[in-house]
Amino acid sequence: MKRTLRFGTLESRIYMIFTLMIFATVFVMQLVSFRFTMNTVRNSTLENNRILLGQLVTQIDSYIEGMEQISLAVQNDVQLLEYLQEEKDPSSAEYSFIQQRLGNYIQARNDISDIIIVGHNGAVIAGDPETALNPWTNVSEKEWYRDAIDAGGQTAVSSSYVQNIVAGRYSWVVSLSREILSPNRNESLGVLLVDLKFNRIKDLCQSLVVGSKGYNFIIDSEQNYIFHPTQQLVYSNLRNEPLESIYSILGSTEEKFYHSDSKYFMIETSSITGWYIISVTYDSDIVTDWQYVQISYTFLGLVLFLIVGFATNRISTGITKPVRKLQEIMKSVDTGEFRLVGQIEATDEIRELAREYDTMVGHVRKLMDANIKEQELKRKSDLKALQAQINPHFLYNTLDSIIWMGEMGQNKEVVLMTSALSKLFRISISKGREFISISDEIAHVESYLTIQKMRYKDKFEYSIEIDPDLYNCTILKITLQPLVENAIYHGIKEVDHKGTIRITGEEQDGNIKLEVIDNGKGMTKSEMAELNSSLNISTDSSGLSRYGMGVHNVHERIQLYFGEDFGLSYFPADGGGTRITVLIPSRPLEVL
């Protein structure tokens, strides 16, 4: 039969408590694990991004250092210094030689847009022979020019801007400018300008990014953009970066790190240019398959929950199954079975409880057996007391009859009645035995009938028709005599005609059926039904029916010794009168 889990039972409570605890544990573990995984991946990605940012700074510094070496080489060129110290004709051989040398630098490096030397003597030398300055341009007013003069012979690096001093050429560049000094460094001869192609810095910044959305940008100390992948949008204020927040942490000694919305900003500083290189990483690029990770953790948590839930069910069943078994066995107390638990697979506490229960049941059984025996002894004592009340009553009447016959001189009848009475009481005593043979019971009832026939003269006749094969079977003593007495006093004595009493006996379906049949007064159907019902009602002598306590005594004794399937029954006799049936088991005398 399928077992249902009812709320309120020990098993359901254990299962619910464990389930909630496991669910909470799995949920918390899953949440912690997911967050731990996300943080681990995020930290790993950001650390990788920091490494890339360091490489980017190193490459930019190397790039600028390379440009500085070129500017330094140009500055230390002896012929150039001599040319700038003297007023030379642009068409001179020295001019062409210097211009060719500058051109060689440009050709050697494809990331140089132009190299221009502006001398204080009015000389302008460009690495590209086709380079011509715009006539309206005042070079000395340019920022890169002023920065070079202010740097005092050191390299000045500009922000990105559009170079407009060259006619017909407007390129995004970053300029390296340096003041050219005389050999003894006591005289300024001019300014060297090296324009770097902007796309080189762009290539460097775009080559080392994390994720599809990540990017790098460069700013200087004055919040000017050196590079941004969307330069035009930034200059048009269509896109902004949190520069204020970035600059606020630049002076901090802690890690240069800033998080805004869904973006992470990492900042490194170029030791050569002083630029701030910022790497930007998006959350969505850090964990690209976070939904897959979430689904995986959810599925794993569900599987783990089901496995642990199944294990919890097995554990709760293992705990409660012995309890249910013990409960079912304890219910047998209500039905009077008092079953024992015996060996049971359970915890030590439940096994101890089962042992205590078995001990208790053992004591209860002993008490019940003792009580049953006590009750049986009491009933037997009560029945013997009733029997003791019957025998004296009959004895008084018989002795009165003997005295009367002696006074009448009927000595022969006195001897016969005294002999019958002696035999009657000898069998009644039977050395204290409760069971006698049917042949002795016949002799007992014949002695009784002899006495009663002598007392009542020719009032009735009797016959005994019991199968001789039953003579050696056992019967409770004084079984037939009360029935015969009842037939005489309440049947035959109440009619005017001569009565007859027939005692029959035969074996029927393994049992012995004895009948006492009289043709006396008889009973109505209601009286007979009432009498049959009263046989099974335990009562004392004061509550017996008018048919006497002797018959009730016989019925109780039979059921006491043989069970409720046996006893007496009243039926109407054919032709009038009463038929009393006695049903007892067929048992040979030697069995008892």
Per-position DSSP letters for 98-145, written without gaps between them: HHHHHHHHHHH-TTEEEEEEEETTS-EEESSTT--B-TT--GGGSHHH
The full DSSP string for 244-311 is HHHHHTTT-SS--EEEETTEEEEEEE-TTT--EEEEEEEHHHHSTTHHHHHHHHHHHHHHHHHHHHHH
Backbone angles phi, psi at 418, to 5 degrees: -65, -40
What the block records as the tokens of 337 is: 């079975």
Mean pLDDT estimate for the chain: 78
What span, in angstroms and rounded, lies between the C-alpha atoms of 244 and 49? Answer: 22
Confidence of residue 62 (pLDDT cuts 50, 70, 90): confident
- Beta strands 567-572; 435-437: pairing state: unpaired
Across residues 186-200, what is the average pLDDT? 81
Please choose, from the candidates 155, 82, 156, the residue with its C-alpha nearest in 3D space to the C-alpha of residue 123.
Answer: 82
What span, in angstroms and rounded, lies between the C-alpha atoms of 62 and 65? Answer: 5
- Locate the DSSP E strands across 397-545: 435-437, 460-466, 474-476, 499-508, 511-518
Q: 448: alpha, beta or left, given left = phi > 0 and alpha = psi -120 to 50?
A: alpha
Of 11-25, 382-396, 485-499, the least confident: 382-396
Of 37-41, 222-226, 489-493, 578-582, the least confident: 37-41
Residue 8 pLDDT exceeds 90 = no
In three-state secondary structure terms, 418 is: helix
Higher pLDDT, 289 or 175: 175
Percent of the chain with pLDDT over 70: 81
Which ranges in the chain are annotated with CATH 3.30.565.10? Answer: 372-591
What span, in angstroms and rounded, lies between the C-alpha atoms of 394 and 400? Answer: 10
What span, in angstroms and rounded, lies between the C-alpha atoms of 103 and 96? Answer: 10
Which ranges in the chain are annotated with CATH 3.30.450.20? Answer: 45-286
Apex 425 CA angle, 421 and 429, nearest 5: 175
CA-based Rg of the chain, rounded to a whole angstrom? 66
What span, in angstroms and rounded, lies between the C-alpha atoms of 478 and 557? Answer: 10
Higher pLDDT, 22 or 61: 61
pLDDT digits (tens, 9 = 90+) for 133-155: 888 888 888 888 888 888 887 88
Name the range with the highest mean pLDDT among 26-35, 330-339, 574-583: 574-583
What the block records as the tokens of 161 is: 């801007």
The residue type found at 405 is M
pLDDT digits (tens, 9 = 90+) for 79-102: 777 777 776 666 677 788 888 888
Confidence of residue 585 (pLDDT cuts 50, 70, 90): very high
Q: 124: alpha, beta or left, given left = phi > 0 and alpha = psi -120 to 50?
A: beta
Q: What is the pLDDT of residue 391?
A: 58
Q: What is the pLDDT of residue 578?
A: 92
Q: What is the pLDDT of residue 15?
A: 66
What span, in angstroms and rounded, lies between the C-alpha atoms of 97 and 84? Answer: 13
Return the half-sphere exposure (C-beta side, CA atoms, 13 A cut-off) of residue 35.
5
Per the listing, tokens 């009644």 go with: 428
Q: How many residues are listed for the chain in this entry?
A: 592
Per-residue CA distances from 456 to 112, 350, 374, 453, 494 (Å): 163, 76, 43, 5, 13
Confidence of residue 253 (pLDDT cuts 50, 70, 90): low
Confidence of residue 2 (pLDDT cuts 50, 70, 90): very low
Global pTM reads 0.48
- Any idea which fold 45-286 has? Beta-Lactamase (3.30.450)
Backbone angles phi, psi at 337, to 5 degrees: -75, -40
Residue 546 pLDDT exceeds 50 = no
Q: Which CATH superfamily is domain 372-591 in?
A: Histidine kinase-like ATPase, C-terminal domain (3.30.565.10)
Across residues 229-233, what is the average pLDDT? 81
pLDDT digits (tens, 9 = 90+) for 467-503: 999 999 999 888 898 899 888 888 888 888 888 999 9
